Amino acid sequence: MAGSGNAHLRPPGEVVLRVEDLVVEFPAGRGRSVHAVSGVSFDVARGETLGIVGESGCGKSTTARALMQMPPPLRGSVRLDGLELTALRGEALRRTRRRLQMIFQDPISSLNPRRRVRDIVAEGPRVWGAGADRVDEMLTAVGLDPATAATRRPHEFSGGQCQRVSIARALVLDPEIVICDEPVSALDVSVQAQILALLEELKERYRLTLVFIAHDLAVVKNVSDRILVMYLGKVCELASGDALVERPAHPYTRALLASIPRGGLGLPPADQLISGEPPSPVTPPSGCRFRTRCPAATPLCAAEEPVMRRIGTDHWVACHHPQETGEILKPVEAPQVARAPEAAFPQPAEEAEDARVPKSPKVPKVPKVR
């Protein structure tokens, strides 16, 4: 059972969630199958946030659902505090599931359109015969007015508010782990910032452990302690956000960084970008699954699957030829604005100095007046 190795896993005692060699396949007709997740391993320590990034269809959502046993993985192990979830069935599984909760990508479709918002949040306590006293507390905690929620249905709320409802619904059962599958990707930047801040705040307040799945590396980095990069059902790289962004070692991670729009700074380094088409998960490439698009691929990559190995403090990569230099990020930066005085925005103090010079030729440059 080839996976990407388990060298990066910490001792079971240190972690709350330990996933080993997770395999999920879907039937694809004519006896073939979609290899959605093929041997993914990771772990999460209590109170930690693990970010998962990867390309569309790389199996992030499938992994998230496999953790919840919806559906259970084909093979592999998911252990919550040492309890093997894949072995649970029926009633025992149902009882355990509440300890893990999920927040979904689409704020609208994850709420039943025919029910009132407060009832949606109260559903968990109702299922478990618990009192509804935490319902209003949660609604308030996520910034909603319980009285309004009692009378309105989801379509009367904005996307950001619906996502707050989802968060309240997930937290009302006091879960240990919350799996967030793209919780902010359908939201506006302003609301995204609000929801991210809310998640961080609630994580502190309720001592949550988060698995945060998103496609936006900057967003993931903002909330995560460690980041796992996935490609086509496999793990590529695992590191802290800073290490990943400063010293990306896997060619795919580098491509990911290179594809981030850099706002008028010109095209990214072409050698880092990936072209070609993502291979079909029905017939994934032999050896390293990234080899068909990898700028650094060699014959070894087709013959042998790379396994996770350590290349730095808590920095792991599954690649035969990990890259050394980390020059990708340099030019990568979100567009900067003309800054108003700091005092105007009552905001955190530290902020990257903006040294860029506007490059429009239309405006003559003059020395700044003091």
Partner 1 sequence: MRRRLGWSFWLALGWITLILAAAATADLLPLPRYDETLVGPPQAGPGPDHPFGTDGLGRDVLSRVVYGARVSLIVGIGAVLLGVLFGAPLGVLAGYRRRATDAVIMGVNDIALAFPALVFALAVVAFAGASLLNVLIVLGVLGVPAWVRLVRGATMVFSEREFVAAARVLGARDRTVLWREVVPNVSLPVLSYAFIGMAVAIVAEGSLAFLGLSVQAPTPTWGGLINEGRPLMEDAPHVVLIPSFVMFLTVLAFNLIGDRLRALTDVRQSNLEPVRRRQADRLPARPHHVEEDVLLQVADLRTHFTTARGAVRAVDGVSFTLQRGRTLAIVGESGSGKSMLIRSVLGLTPEAGTRRGGRVYLDGQDLTELDDEQMRHILGTRMAAVFQDPMTALNPVRTIGTQVMEPLMVHLGMKRKAARARAAELLASVGIPEPARILRRYPHQLSGGMRQRVTIAMALSCGPDILFADEPTTALDVTVQDQVLRLIRRQREERHMAVVLVSHDLSVVAEWSDEVIVMYAGKVVERGPADSLFERTRMPYTEALLRAVPKLTDPAHHPLRLLPGRPPDLAHPPSGCAFHPRCPYARERCSQEEPPLFQAETLDHLYACWYPVGTGAGVVETSPELSGASGTAEALKAAEEAAELEEAAEAAEVVAEAAAELETTDVIEGADSRGR
Ligand X SMILES: Nc1ncnc2c1ncn2[C@@H]1O[C@H](COP(=O)(O)OP(=O)(O)OP(=O)(O)O)[C@@H](O)[C@H]1O
Binding test (CB under 6 A) with ligand SF4, winner from 23, 256, 319, 328: 319
- Exposed / middle / buried, residue 178 (Cβ in 10 Å: 0-12, 13-18, 19+): buried
Stretch that binds ligand SF4, among 26-34, 94-102, 215-223, 285-293 (CB under 6 A): 285-293
d(CA 281, CA 168): 35
Q: How far is the CB of 128 from partner 1 (least distance, A)?
A: 7
| Under rule CB under 6 A, residue 296 binds ligand SF4 | yes
The partner in contact with residue 221, picked from Mg ion, ligand SF4, ligand X, none with C-beta cut-offs of 5 to 8 angstroms by kind, is none
- Which CA distances in Å does 98 have to 93, 101, 123, 263? 9, 6, 12, 43
| Under rule CB under 5 A, residue 61 binds Mg ion | yes
Stretch that binds Mg ion, among 55-63, 144-152, 162-170, 298-306 (CB under 5 A): 55-63
d(CA 171, CA 353): 38
Continuous H helices in the chain: 60-67, 90-97, 117-127, 133-141, 146-151, 159-171, 189-206, 217-223, 241-246, 251-258, 299-303
> Which two tokens mark 294?
């990898």
Question: Considering beta carbons, is residue 103 or 308 the nearer one to ligand SF4?
Answer: 308
> Which two tokens mark 297?
């691929």
**Considering only CA atoms, which of 307, 292, 250, 289 is closest in space to residue 3?**
307
Binding test (CB under 6 A) with ligand X, winner from 59, 72, 124, 306: 59
| Residue span 236-255 as binding mask against ligand SF4, x where in contact by CB under 6 A, dash where not | --------------xx----
Binding test (CB under 6 A) with ligand X, winner from 15, 19, 34, 198: 34
Which residues does 239 contact at the CB level (< 8 Å), separation at least 6? 226, 227, 247, 312, 314, 315, 316
| Under rule CB under 6 A, residue 281 binds ligand X | yes
Residue ranges that bind ligand X, judged by CB under 6 A: 26, 34, 36, 54, 56-62, 215, 281
Residue ranges that bind ligand SF4, judged by CB under 6 A: 250-251, 288, 290-291, 294, 296-297, 301, 306, 319-321
Residue ranges that bind Mg ion, judged by CB under 5 A: 61
